Amino acid sequence: MKFSAEQIAGILEGTVEGNAAVEVHGLAKIEEGKSGELSFLSNPKYEEYIYVTNSSICIVNEDFKPSKELPKTLTLIRVENAYACFAKLLEFYDQMKRPQPEIQSPSFISEDAVIGEGCFVGAFAYISKGAKIGNNVVIYSGVNVGENVTIGDNTTLHPNAVIYRDCVIGQGCTIHSGAVIGADGFGFAPDEKGVFQRIPQIGNVILEDNVDIGANTTVDRATMGSTIVRKGAKLDNLVQIGHNVELGSNTALAAQAGIAGSTKVGSNVLIGGQVGLAGHIKIGDRVMIAAQSGVGGNVEDDKVIMGSPAFDNKEYKKSYIGFRKLPDIMDRLKELEKSIKNQAKGE
């Protein structure tokens, strides 16, 4: 499908500068753009590419002033915020790629499952008894929806995602391939012989609205009650959320982060890759945790921490400077000890 510069400017409430009739059929980075593609420029460090790009249309900020001559084949669309507008186009493009409503065969849908209007169910999907699927839900091939699961409107489950029994998925959620929502929490207790006995995990997982779950990420069901991921939270690939965790709204976790059981994480928290949070602790709102940090205790609101064990990032950087100088300090200390011994001997 093709769109003209005039049509795109209308969607973005922008102004065309150049050929309003030129059409594009795809999106591309400005340094890789080809004829018939649309790009954007918001970061000044990429400005050099706009003077050589082969893209047909480029979205720029209203205050962009070229320092060189632009390609004659390039049409500009000036908008208030080029980055935000390009993101809007990406969302529009993504929506166009959504499959049309259809129940493909072979797939299994229990007789007492409820499927809303405008849904797509791919081949080899399995929807168990008691499941309630909202409107305009996309369930790709190989997805398994367990008993009594509830899925809200406009949610997408990518191939081979698994939703265990009794879990609740909100509206506008995206769950990527290989993700597992509602597997048993890591609950075991040794008996008198030291043999681990499994503790039944009878709770569930609740994902509120607009939650994104990355590929091969796992969110464990609660031992009792619910593991809760609040609205707007974003989990990268390969993230582990333990049983009875509560993850605050608009909190984001990068890949390979892990949160142990019963930890409470506040809202608008940013957690870097490979961060580990111990169990039964509380992380305040708007906390930032640097990659590979290990957090073993409570963290107050608005703190920025790093290291393992993690502490204030400014103090950590000061400490690290000292750590890097430690070999030199040790050598100087040995020389000082040697000098003191020699002085004591009268040498």
Question: Which residues are part of the catalytic machinery?
Answer: 243
- Sheet with 226-229: list strands edge to edge: 114-115, 132-133, 150-151, 168-169, 204-207, 226-229, 246-247, 264-265, 282-283
First-last CA distance in the chain: 90
Q: Where are the beta strands (DSSP E) in 211-296?
A: 212-213, 218-220, 226-229, 234-235, 240-241, 246-247, 252-253, 258-259, 264-265, 270-271, 276-277, 282-283, 288-289, 294-295
DSSP calls for 161-189:
-EE-TT-EE-TT-EE-TT-EEEEPP--EE
Tally the residues of the chain.
Answer: 347
Tokens of 75: 């049409």
